[in-house]
Amino acid sequence: MPINLRIPGPVPLPQEVREALAQDMIDHRGPEFASLFGEVTEGLKYVFQTKHDVLILTASGTGGLEAAIVNLLSPGEKALVVINGFFGERWFEIARAFGVEAIPLRFPWGLGAEPEDVRKALIKAGDCKALLITHNETSTGITNDLEAITKAAYSIENPPLILVDAVSSLGAIDLRPDEWGCDVVVTASQKALMAPPGLSIISVSPRAWEAYEKAKLPRFYWDFRKAKEYALRNQTPFTPALSVLFGLRKSLKLIREEGLAVVFDRHRAVAEFTRQGVKSLGLSLFPDEKWASNTVTAVRIPPEFRADELIERLREGYGIVVAGGQGALKGKIIRIAHIGRVTAEEMAQVIAALKELLPCSRS
Amino acid sequence: MPINLRIPGPVPLPQEVREALAQDMIDHRGPEFASLFGEVTEGLKYVFQTKHDVLILTASGTGGLEAAIVNLLSPGEKALVVINGFFGERWFEIARAFGVEAIPLRFPWGLGAEPEDVRKALIKAGDCKALLITHNETSTGITNDLEAITKAAYSIENPPLILVDAVSSLGAIDLRPDEWGCDVVVTASQKALMAPPGLSIISVSPRAWEAYEKAKLPRFYWDFRKAKEYALRNQTPFTPALSVLFGLRKSLKLIREEGLAVVFDRHRAVAEFTRQGVKSLGLSLFPDEKWASNTVTAVRIPPEFRADELIERLREGYGIVVAGGQGALKGKIIRIAHIGRVTAEEMAQVIAALKELLPCSRS
């Protein structure tokens, strides 16, 4: 049975990427690596839509979030954390783990953050060194309006650094770090970048580098400056996840060939197709549709059905692998991801299977 | 031109491992992953020769060393650091970066650490929480006598935790954490484990878990307890480097089929063959032969030759990729690695090429 992997990362790999992964190892201090690293970095800057530094760390996306905290903040400094899902909570936990005075600004799960509320909370908290925000919440299937939120944050005196978890959005949903003033944007290799997990990729603005100079948390493996110094000679300080780089070179080439604007449009179209399909079954979306994400669709499961059983039957009977709810949403929703080279046909299969498994729901 | 990659990691991948890398992604929270993770963990325990916990982190080996420090030590605690090469210096730097009072015990590069000196230094320093040691120093081509050193460390009152960097030895040179009392042993996927880089693997003793409870450094991504909790249900807290796990499952199978004792013997034989070959050219080994490593041979380059030029000519003319010296040894030595599935024929090629490029040296 062919597998239709519809979890929000790792995503299915294009055939060309899989072939690239089988390449044998090379010297990570040699000329062939330098050319690989240069090509990947250039491709990443294109997808990140940034002229600033883009650093590559061998870690999962969470490692990249931790790196952002330990490079830019100091214990006792305030950070406002926008929380409207599982990954917002993770930002909060990481900041707290390192002694940052993390101030939560919570919104109901399924809604996006209100820019005006963010502005007020920043003023009320006073003297926030950073604003931590998750661009796209796969846990609830929403995308925060990052452009409007950064604008609100910059409207106050002494605007905070803007640190963005863009793990499930970058390369699929428009995000403009330089234009919007995002100081650090963190993503990972296994989502819209269509490579295996193993690399976290981070853009760093000039303002972030200024903060780096003053930040006092201890760091070694995550050190941005070390990563930048090595990047200047097309290397990494420590042996990188080479095969992931091989894959990433190929997937970045695919993205460039298609064009970023087309990739964004394609994600929007397949997401819209999915939402319409889900609704045509009489099911409702978990999030307010105004905020619905173009990379993952979260669907309420009617109380007469068990979500875990549904997920199991999709897997066993149809080869369709979707995700369940996290935290408080466990058992209440399923999450169908459409990140990367996904087609409307693949989403139609999911809708058709749901139709069989949830007969007459609401009809 | 076929490439003969002879750097001390990443090492050439067996064909079966390369094929495994091309597998498509799977759900890292699903049943297929659980079986992969369980199989890999079991294989790792075999190669680690341990019954204790073995944790898998997505990071390079240096990430694993940092994880050991932040999980087990607290700022201001003393650690004796055995330094006889570049990676001993790295242990020292990491410990210092996190506020540990790191006390260096340096030995001349090219020699192994003397167990009796370690014992005396521990007593002199007094109250050392940990001993940090590099089992095998690829920078100088030596292997420390870890068994004797741990014995010396345990002979004092309140013996320290023994934290071992075994990145370039584990799986190639005998190391028995449980028998010798090594509390944390850190390795990485791209050396004797013959997979691509991207995973650091760490054994943790019961004594180390006791230290974990009292250790005060902040941690999130590196948190051993979180890794263990997830490992109990055959998962990782954060999305792991999946393709590296696919490769590792295959390479661990190869190691088990061959048998660890045979693998060690094979490394010893090919190292001995290399040393004899190098000496037959009239070249001398950099290290005292008593300590010569079975994973990498460091060779002095006579002053009439330039090491960087030699490395370039080996690469361009013969497809042989060796490493140069690090730090103070830059330009003075070349390092020829023989880790993994290397054959005497491949080493004979290196010797033959050196013979052509360094004619009549010393003869």
Domain ends where: B221, B256, B291?
B256
Sign of dihedral through CA atoms B221, B227, B233, B235? positive
Q: Are residues A104 and A226 in the same domain?
A: yes
Instruction: Indicate if B243 and B130 belong to the same structural domain.
Output: yes
Q: Are residues A96 and A116 both part of a single domain?
A: yes
Please indicate whether, in this complex, the C-beta atoms of B97 and A220 are within 8 angstroms of each other: yes
Task: Quick: pLDDT tens for B99-135.
Answer: 999 999 999 999 999 999 999 999 999 999 999 999 9
Total beta-carbon pairs less than 8 A apart between chain A and chain B: 177
Q: Which of A5, A18, A218 sits opposite B98 (nearest CB)?
A: A218
Residue B1: pLDDT over 90: no
From B40's Cα to the closest Cα of chain A, the distance in A is: 17
- Residues B350, B325: contact at Cβ < 8 Å? no
What residue type is assigned to position A203 of the chain? S
Give start and end residues of each alpha helix (H) in chain A. 15-21, 31-48, 61-72, 86-97, 115-125, 146-154, 177-180, 206-214, 224-232, 242-258, 260-280, 307-318, 344-357
Nearest by CB to A12, from B24, B241, B315: name it: B24
Contacts of A26 in chain B (CB under 8 A): 3, 5, 10, 321
| Cβ pair B58:A61 closer than 8 A | no
Whether B362 is in a domain gets the answer no
Task: Looking at the complex, report in whole angstroms how far the Cα of residue A93 sits from the nearest Cα belonging to chain B.
Answer: 8
For residue B192, is it within any domain? yes
Choose among A98, A99, A321: nearest Cβ to B27. Answer: A321
Which residues on chain A are in Cβ contact (under 8 Å) with B98? 218, 220
Segment B254-260 long-range contacts (CB within 8 Å, at least 24 positions apart): B254/B14, B254/B16, B254/B17, B254/B194, B254/B341, B255/B43, B255/B46, B255/B47, B255/B171, B255/B193, B255/B194, B256/B43, B256/B46, B260/B46, B260/B47, B260/B49, B260/B171
* Residue after which a domain boundary falls, among A213, A237, A256: A256
Average pLDDT, integer, range B26-50: 98
Asked if A238 contacts B62 with a C-beta cutoff of 8 angstroms, the reply is yes
The SS3 of residue A161 is strand
A241 contacts in chain B (CB < 8 Å): 58, 60, 196-198, 241, 244
> Sorting pLDDT into bands at 50, 70 and 90, what band is A360?
low
Q: CATH number of the domain that A120 lies in?
A: 3.40.640.10
**B360 band by pLDDT with thresholds 50, 70 and 90:** low
Mark whether A251 and A270 lie in a shared domain.
no
Taking an 8 Å cut-off on Cβ atoms, the answer to whether A25 and B10 are in contact is yes
Instruction: Give the residue on B whose Cα is nearest the Cα of A7.
Output: B27
Helix/strand/coil (H/E/C) assignment for every residue in chain B: CCCEECCCCCCCCCHHHHHHHCCCCCCCCCHHHHHHHHHHHHHHHHHHCCCCEEEEEECCHHHHHHHHHHHHCCCCCEEEEEECCHHHHHHHHHHHHCCCEEEEEECCCCCCCCHHHHHHHHHHHCCEEEEEEECEECCCCEECCHHHHHHHHHCCCCCCEEEEECCCCECCECCCHHHHCCCEEEEECCCCCCCCCCEEEEEECHHHHHHHHHCCCCCCCCCHHHHHHHHHCCCCCCCCCHHHHHHHHHHHHHHHHHCHHHHHHHHHHHHHHHHHHHHHCCCCECCCHHHECCCEEEEECCCCCCHHHHHHHHHHHHCEECEECCHHHCCCEEEEECCCCCCHHHHHHHHHHHHHHCCCCCC
- Cβ contact B198–A243 (<8 Å): yes
Closest residue in chain A to residue B13, using alpha carbons only: A24
Parallel/antiparallel/unpaired status of strands A128-134 and A161-165? parallel
**Are both A245 and A330 inside the same structural domain?**
no
**Residue B212: how many CA atoms within 13 Å on its side-chain side?**
19
Least CB–CB distance from A239: residue in B9, B22, B219: B9
Neighbours of B261 (CB within 10 A): 9
Question: What does the alpha-carbon distance between residue B234 and residue B26 come to, in Å, rounded to a whole number?
Answer: 14
Question: What are A35-79's pLDDT values in tens digits?
Answer: 999 999 999 999 999 999 999 999 999 999 999 999 999 999 999
Q: Kindly tell me if the per-residue pLDDT of A130 is higher than 90.
A: yes
Nearest CA in chain A to B6: A27
What is the three-class DSSP state of A185? strand
Q: Which two tokens stand for residue A337?
A: 């991801």
pTM confidence score = 0.98
Is residue B218 one of the residues assigned to a domain? yes
Q: Please judge whether B198 and A19 are an interchain contact, meaning their C-beta atoms are less than 8 angstroms apart.
A: no
Does B24 contact A30 at a Cβ distance shorter than 8 Å? Answer: no
Rounded distance between C-alpha atoms, residue B345 and residue B336, angstroms: 14
Residue B363 pLDDT greater than 60, yes or no: no
Q: Which of B21, B62, B94 sits opposite A22 (nearest CB)?
A: B21
Whether residues A244 and A294 fall in one domain? no
Mean pLDDT for all residues in chain A: 97
Residues A106 and A192 in one domain: yes
Of A98, A243, A323, the CB nearest to B196: A243
What is the arithmetic mean of pLDDT over A112-130?
Answer: 98
Cβ atoms within 10 Å, residue B55: 26
CB within 8 Å: A239 and B12? no
Mean pLDDT within A104-122 = 98
pLDDT at A363: 44
Verify that B90 and B218 share a domain, yes or no. Answer: yes
The answer to whether A251 and A195 are in contact (CB under 8 A) is: yes
Best A217, A220, A236 member to test B by mutation, with max B CBs in 10 Å, is A220
Residues A211 and A61: their CA atoms lie apart, in Å, by 21
Over range B47-64, report the average pLDDT.
Answer: 98
Task: Tell me phi and psi for residue B172, to 5 degrees.
Answer: -125, -30
Cβ-based contacts of B337 with chain A (< 8 Å): none
Burial class (CB in 10 A: 0-12, 13-18, 19+), B327: exposed
Q: Which of A49, A59, A12, A20 is nearest to A36 (CA)?
A: A20
Calculate Rg over the CA atoms of chain A: 20
Query: Mean of the pLDDT values across residues B158-166?
Result: 98
Asked if residue A149 belongs to a domain, the reply is: yes
| A351-355 average pLDDT score | 97
Q: What is the ipTM of this complex?
A: 0.97
Work out the minimum CA distance from B175 to partner chain A, whole angstroms.
23
Mean pLDDT computed over B151-174:
98
Average pLDDT for A266-275: 98
pLDDT surpasses 70 at A275: yes
Distance CA B109, CA B252 (A): 33
How do A4-5 and A184-188 pair as beta strands? Answer: unpaired
Q: Which residue of A has its CA nearest to B18?
A: A22
**Residue type for B140, please?**
T
User: What local confidence, expressed as pLDDT, does residue B7 receive?
Assistant: 98
pLDDT at A359: 75
Structural domains counted in chain B = 2
Range of the domain at B271: 4-10+259-357
Lowest mean pLDDT among A12-16, A85-89, A324-328, B353-357: A324-328
Query: In the numeric block, which tokens belong to residue B115?
Result: 């167990």
Q: Which of B256, B279, B297 is the last residue of a domain?
A: B256
Contact A197 B241 (CB under 8 A): yes
For residue A10, whether the previous peptide bond is cis, meaning omega lies within 30 degrees of 0, is yes
B251 and B319 in one domain? Answer: no
Do B252 and B266 fall into the same domain? no
A235 contact partners, CB below 8 Å, separation of at least 6 = A28, A29, A33, A34, A37
Return mean pLDDT, chain B. 97
Q: What is the mean pLDDT of residues B56-67?
A: 98
Give the residue-averaged pLDDT of B59-79.
98
Closest CA–CA distance from residue A196 to any residue of chain B (Å): 6
Has residue A362 been placed in a domain?
no
Q: How far is B22 from chain A (nearest CA, A)?
A: 5
pLDDT tens for residues B320-358? Answer: 999 999 988 999 999 999 999 999 999 999 999 999 999
Q: From chain B, pick out residues whose CB is under 8 angstroms from the CB of A29.
A: 7, 323
Cβ-based contacts of A63 with chain B (< 8 Å): 58-59, 221, 238
CATH code, domain with B326: 3.90.1150.10
Percent of chain A with pLDDT over 70: 99
State whether A25 and B19 contact (CB < 8 Å). Answer: no
Residue A1, pLDDT score? 87
**Rounded Cα–Cα distance for residues B173 and B270 (Å):** 12
> Does residue A91 form part of some domain?
yes
> Which of A33, A191, A221 should we substitute to test contact with B (largest number of B Cβ atoms within 10 Å)?
A221
Nearest CA in chain A to B311: A30
Do B171 and B80 lie in one domain? The reply is yes
